[in-house]
Amino acid sequence: MECTNMESKNFIVVERIERFLYLITVGLILLLISYGSIAPAAAAGSEAHLKGEFGPLHNWPIVPIHMALLPDGRVFAFGTKMGKLKYTIWNPYIGIGTDAFETLPNITDTNIFCSGQAFIPGTGQALLIGGTNLSSGDDSDDVNIFDPATETLTPQTQSMAFTRWYATAVTLPNGEHVALGGRRTESSSGTSATYSSTPEVRAADGNWRTLSSAVSDSAYGASRNSWNYPRAWVNPQGSVFILTYQGLMYKLDTSGTGTLSQYTKKTSGSNSNLPSVMFAPGRILSLRNNRVATVVDINGTGEPVLSSGGNLIKDRKYSNATVLADGRVWVNGGSSTGNDLTGAALDSELWDPATRVWTTVASAATARLYHSASLLLPDGTVLTGGGGNPGPIRQLNGEIYYPPYLFKADGTGELAPRPEVVDAPTNMIGWDQEFSVEATDPIAKVTLVRVGVVTHTFNNEQRFFDLPISQTDNIVSVRSPASANIAPPGFYLLFVWNASGTPSIAKFLHIG
Ligand SMILES: [Cu+2]
């Protein structure tokens, strides 16, 4: 007993030293290399300040079907049938050359391709739920955690009660996670697909609790693809809001054995190939069938309030929606005919929440369809990549989108000089807490974007906040979001803006 204790103490000490060294190293990298170093390939056009611009098409060692932004600014990515045995860590601080990618073997028994994913709030580690079994190909109840400090993927001893392929993991206000949906494959034994219509909650200690009184086929089970990466977010009251493809809406209270209630209202129909994203506290922009965009406001305690988000210019099946650093939503990729090059959109669309108008913006070099992903990076750019497996093109590549706010407004197409954050909290801060931010320029605006984790057209972690400031100065005081219901614990990108409307490279803000 004594010996075991000593060993475990020693292990903890070693782990702490490793983590400390890791943080020092990351700090040095951040000091030495600027995130702004990846410039667009050619000189940007005269409309770059209105439409943005794509950087060069660059190679990826895998098809990045899944992408997660780590708290050190690197991107953890995995996917593809080939990638089931590997995962890649991209270091944007190095650039887009082959030396910026580190590809490591997946030595777990889980094929993490099409698993569910979320962040562990205290550490920024990535939690992966389900997938399939590497040897049998059957659906899996495995749980794996990726630790950026050690770059390892570790199987957890506590697996889920249900097997889940294509499930969603939602980070809850108390730091727990709820697993929703997912399906069982047509297994090797020849049985037909079934669906995991019972949610379960993972406690901070890793143990799972089944929500046996919240079973539902229409919320996250067999009915109309509800099992397929259910679109779900914590609502401002602290329960989980679910928006189905069929248009039904639900509220799940995860306490005890769970309570599911259905709202009376319905939205129009959608599809698992169309994205939905929380673009403001309690407000979701949802792409529905036939180019329809709907804003779903879940801030009130009653029925959701539905309103038009305008019409997209193109039908974009398998597109991705990303909240930018300024709160606008950028939708890229997709095709009017499905996972097919006919009707594939190379251009992209920008949605302004103030006017609800969609505008056609910059064009990519290649199509992004099924199994593509897009992720906001700390420098305010968006990594787009992947697609294929299966699909018309197996996209072993990425392209970075430079939004309009990065360019000078004068039409020269030059990148605008950016303000720099001089001082921001480095320790974890709480909710509804005042803190000060200092920058090189007078600060005109402060925004916060929760770090993203994205796959299958759904970024279930992303959220945006405009933090009000009372005066424009180099040092301003701001208040963190009011509660964990509005801003679940974890890591956020803190952008400061100068008077010209140019954002800084973000600092990571840890809220908990
Ligand atoms: Cu998939």
Q: Give the model confidence (pLDDT) of 463-481 as tens digits.
A: 999 999 988 899 999 999 9
In angstroms, what is the span from residue 217 Cα to ligand 1's centroid? 21
Q: Which helix (H) or strand (E) holds 308?
A: strand 305-311
Q: What is the DSSP string of 101-125?
A: EEEEE--SSEE-TT-EEEE-TTT-P
In angstroms, what is the span from residue 229 Cα to ligand 1's centroid? 10
- What are 155-187's pLDDT values in tens digits? 999 999 999 999 999 999 999 999 999 998 765
CB atoms within 10 A of CB 194: 17
Each residue's pLDDT tens digit in the chain (512 positions)? 233 333 333 444 444 455 555 545 544 444 444 454 455 655 678 999 999 999 999 999 999 999 999 999 999 999 876 667 899 999 999 999 999 999 999 999 999 999 999 999 999 999 999 999 988 888 999 999 999 999 999 999 999 999 999 999 999 999 999 999 999 876 555 667 789 999 999 999 999 999 999 999 999 999 999 999 999 999 999 999 999 999 999 999 999 999 999 999 999 999 999 999 999 999 999 999 999 999 999 999 999 999 999 999 999 999 999 999 999 999 999 999 999 999 999 999 999 999 999 999 999 999 999 999 999 999 999 999 999 989 899 999 999 999 999 999 999 999 999 999 999 999 999 999 999 999 999 999 999 999 999 999 999 999 999 999 988 899 999 999 999 999 999 999 999 999 999 999 999 999 99
Calculate what percentage of the chain has a pLDDT beyond 70: 90
In angstroms, what is the span from residue 201 Cα to ligand 1's centroid? 23
Ramachandran assignment for 235, one of left (phi > 0), alpha (psi -120 to 50 degrees), beta (any other) = beta
In angstroms, what is the span from residue 132 Cα to ligand 1's centroid? 11
In angstroms, what is the span from residue 315 Cα to ligand 1's centroid? 21
Calculate what percentage of the chain has a pLDDT beyond 90: 86
In angstroms, what is the span from residue 185 Cα to ligand 1's centroid? 12
The pLDDT, as a whole number, for residue 35 is 52
In angstroms, what is the span from residue 79 Cα to ligand 1's centroid? 8
In angstroms, what is the span from residue 390 Cα to ligand 1's centroid? 9
In angstroms, what is the span from residue 391 Cα to ligand 1's centroid? 11
Q: Where are the beta strands (DSSP E) in 444-506?
A: 445-450, 453-455, 458-459, 464-467, 473-479, 490-497
The pLDDT, as a whole number, for residue 194 is 86
The pLDDT, as a whole number, for residue 13 is 43
pTM of the complete model: 0.93
In angstroms, what is the span from residue 456 Cα to ligand 1's centroid? 6
In angstroms, what is the span from residue 56 Cα to ligand 1's centroid? 26
In angstroms, what is the span from residue 114 Cα to ligand 1's centroid? 5
In angstroms, what is the span from residue 97 Cα to ligand 1's centroid? 27
In angstroms, what is the span from residue 373 Cα to ligand 1's centroid? 11
The pLDDT, as a whole number, for residue 110 is 94
Place of tokens 């990726």: 146
In angstroms, what is the span from residue 115 Cα to ligand 1's centroid? 8
In angstroms, what is the span from residue 78 Cα to ligand 1's centroid? 11
Strands 240-243 and 248-253: antiparallel
In angstroms, what is the span from residue 284 Cα to ligand 1's centroid? 23
Closest CA to 163 of 119, 133, 136: 133
Burial class (CB in 10 A: 0-12, 13-18, 19+), 157: exposed
In angstroms, what is the span from residue 113 Cα to ligand 1's centroid? 7
Cis-peptide, bond into residue 390, ω within 30° of zero: yes
- What are 402-453's pLDDT values in tens digits? 999 999 999 999 999 999 999 999 999 999 999 999 999 999 999 999 999 9
In angstroms, what is the span from residue 388 Cα to ligand 1's centroid? 9
The pLDDT, as a whole number, for residue 6 is 35
In angstroms, what is the span from residue 375 Cα to ligand 1's centroid? 17
In angstroms, what is the span from residue 64 Cα to ligand 1's centroid? 11
In angstroms, what is the span from residue 66 Cα to ligand 1's centroid? 9
The pLDDT, as a whole number, for residue 185 is 72
Cβ 276 vs Cβ 237: under 8 Å: no
How many residues are there in the chain? 512
All structural domains of the chain? 48-406 (2.130.10.80)
Which residues have a Cβ under 8 Å from the Cβ of 4 and sit 6 or more positions away? none
In angstroms, what is the span from residue 166 Cα to ligand 1's centroid? 7
In angstroms, what is the span from residue 99 Cα to ligand 1's centroid? 28
In angstroms, what is the span from residue 131 Cα to ligand 1's centroid? 10
**∠ CA(238), CA(231), CA(274), 5° rounding?**
150
